[in-house]
Structure 1
């Protein structure tokens, strides 16, 4: 059986130099993948990804996720090509429909068609296919080609999706599907079944598509402080993800009270309403032993990758260090290496 990968998801809100330092630390500790989120109004993920590519030699890197509404397919192809070149073939590409784009006046019609056609155009460009493409949303005129050499024609595609139709699309065209904002082992089987609607018609084994689950992570030796911080973070998106998870039985009145406090700007009070069992569905939180137990449950359920998302700890660097030196050894059943000596 292939060993599950362990990754870190970082927000693109840090100054230059911070990403290279965190990336070196993460690689030395033994992480497999570094992801940068593509959230609205944060720095474009290509900036931290290129910085981390220059600071590492082994880890895979990619954005999770870019979207075909705010960035044209040829630009997405260019960004993944640049990252693949800078990392010597370690790039992957994450695509999703995007969120909150109405705030900048961008509509998101026919998202599944947009994602499918974006991927088609992007890979045609990377492969050097000059036959052209005419879709419902995107077109590529015959003879159109990139005017630079690419490192690989086929960097792996990850689709971000929770729903049945998005998972079916991932089953047809993607190497991985990411369920963002979930730490729930119960979602793994749900997503696997939803993938079959795409893999079966495409003649692919469903196991070919890796399931990735990632969520807010706060680890600290002070487990109570870590869980308190995680509650505050989760409160901001609980109503959205709880509605997407068919296995989660979160009371409607709880969601209404949490949402009302978040809308009023009182995130701490909102987080205090979230009980332990709900928190554990949507965040990795607590001591290293608690976080490792949560991640192991996902691995046992069959994920290909567990992604520990920001803020990682009470501070980002302390969190990454603790995840690498105290959580990873528990998951890999091996003695903790002196990873920090190579920083």
Structure 2
């Protein structure tokens, strides 16, 4: 685990992907709250439903669970607008909002003709400006984006920022500046390596920034049947592989050409072909997939390196069943780590 953790017990998080109507995602959020999850993130992809509209429904269906986008990027939407949208969720939820922000998926942005330039600076500037706006300040900013005399017509608030990260520089930056990190990884090898990068960032973290929380934003697919769970893992693994850097692929002995086939299909927008190129080795490296018992074992291994786990998409072939099974697996893994 990292230093400066926020709690003794691991944080239980869940990612709910709005590929389904907001009403259903809200029902899943209510189920997750009932099952003991601490935070629910709603993912953001241009081809799915709007995350903030979905979050507003999640607010109505829940009472205590923290809620936020996970992960939005400051390229498709202007950072000031993201700050306003997140602050609106915080207002609606009586202070339960969190802000999950990252550089975005390169292949998805390419489909929209958007160049992901200066990702580290843009993410840092995004949540720096957001913090000032949430504090009630009027902001003028000239950097990777422009904002002149910008302010929010909302009550001031404090919203924790979690940076989606995988590469060394983004990991270190998050540990130095953000409230937490959502590590795009599921395998202990990647999480152990990431923890080392975070420690470097924490060494330079100002004391006034307070505690820092490292969460594994792990793709998880859990079901009663191992084969069905692994098959449901193909879509998220494809997106992970499509954006994976060469050192990450090498860490798991994933063939670069095979990964390129996945990436090329994603950039063409041919999702079926991309999912078909996902191999068993890719699933093993980039997803926690299997039965409740298998997943609990993998969670336990992951918790040696992080402060909590966000159960990421797809969850499993049956979403309601998977929400419950993942909570059971988290409970088992948490109990083991406390012994």
Fold equivalence (TM over 0.5) = yes
* Distance in 2 of aligned mates of 1:202 and 1:264: 40
Aligned in 2, Cα 1:111/1:184: closer, same or farther, shift over 3 Å? same
Write the deviation string for residues 311-332 of structure 1: whole angstroms up to 9, x where unpaired.
Answer: 21212122113223x3233224
Matches for 1:285-324 after TM superposition, within 5 Å:
285-301=289-305, 303-324=306-327
Deviates more, 1:81-90 or 1:112-121: 112-121
**Residue 70 in 1 paired to residue 76 in 2?**
yes
Matches for 1:129-144 after TM superposition, within 5 Å:
129-130=137-138, 132-141=139-148, 144=150
Write the deviation string for residues 57-95 of structure 1: whole angstroms up to 9, x where unpaired.
Answer: 121111112222222222111111111112111111011
Whether the 8 Å CA contact 1:117–1:135 is kept in 2: the answer is: no
Which of the numbers 39, 49, 56 marks the counterpart of 2:62? 56
Gaps of 5+ in 1: 335-343
Report how far residue 8 of structure 1 moved. Answer: 1.1
Which of the numbers 176, 192, 196 marks the counterpart of 1:193? 196
Greater CA radius of gyration, 1 or 2? 1
**Could you say which residue in structure 1 is the equivalent of 2:333?**
331
Whether the 8 Å CA contact 2:177–2:209 is kept in 1: the answer is: no
Write the deviation string for residues 244-290 of structure 1: whole angstroms up to 9, x where unpaired.
Answer: 5263232446546766888694456534x424xx5332111111000
* Distance in 2 of aligned mates of 1:120 and 1:296: 34
Gaps of 5+ in 2: 1-6
* Distance in 2 of aligned mates of 1:134 and 1:87: 29
Three-state SS of the structure 2 residue aligned to 1:300 is coil
Aligned in 2, Cα 1:283/1:89: closer, same or farther, shift over 3 Å? same
Q: TM-score, normalised by structure 2?
A: 0.85
Whether the 8 Å CA contact 1:218–1:319 is kept in 2: the answer is: yes
* Distance in 1 of aligned mates of 2:148 and 2:292: 53
Report how far residue 28 of structure 1 moved. Answer: 0.8
The number of aligned residues is 324
Whether the 8 Å CA contact 2:174–2:181 is kept in 1: the answer is: yes
Three-state SS of the structure 1 residue aligned to 2:192 is helix
RMSD value over aligned CA atoms?
2.8
Deviates more, 1:242-251 or 1:171-180: 242-251
**Could you say which residue in structure 2 is the equivalent of 1:80?**
86
**Residue 7 in 1 paired to residue 7 in 2?**
no
Deviates more, 1:305-314 or 1:280-289: 305-314
Aligned in 2, Cα 1:128/1:207: closer, same or farther, shift over 3 Å? closer
* Distance in 2 of aligned mates of 1:93 and 1:66: 8
* Distance in 2 of aligned mates of 1:106 and 1:39: 14
Whether the 8 Å CA contact 1:214–1:306 is kept in 2: the answer is: yes
**Could you say which residue in structure 2 is the equivalent of 1:284?**
288
Deviates more, 1:232-241 or 1:107-116: 232-241
* Distance in 2 of aligned mates of 1:108 and 1:266: 24
Three-state SS of the structure 2 residue aligned to 1:310 is strand
Report how far residue 23 of structure 1 moved. Answer: 1.2
**Could you say which residue in structure 2 is the equivalent of 1:338?**
none
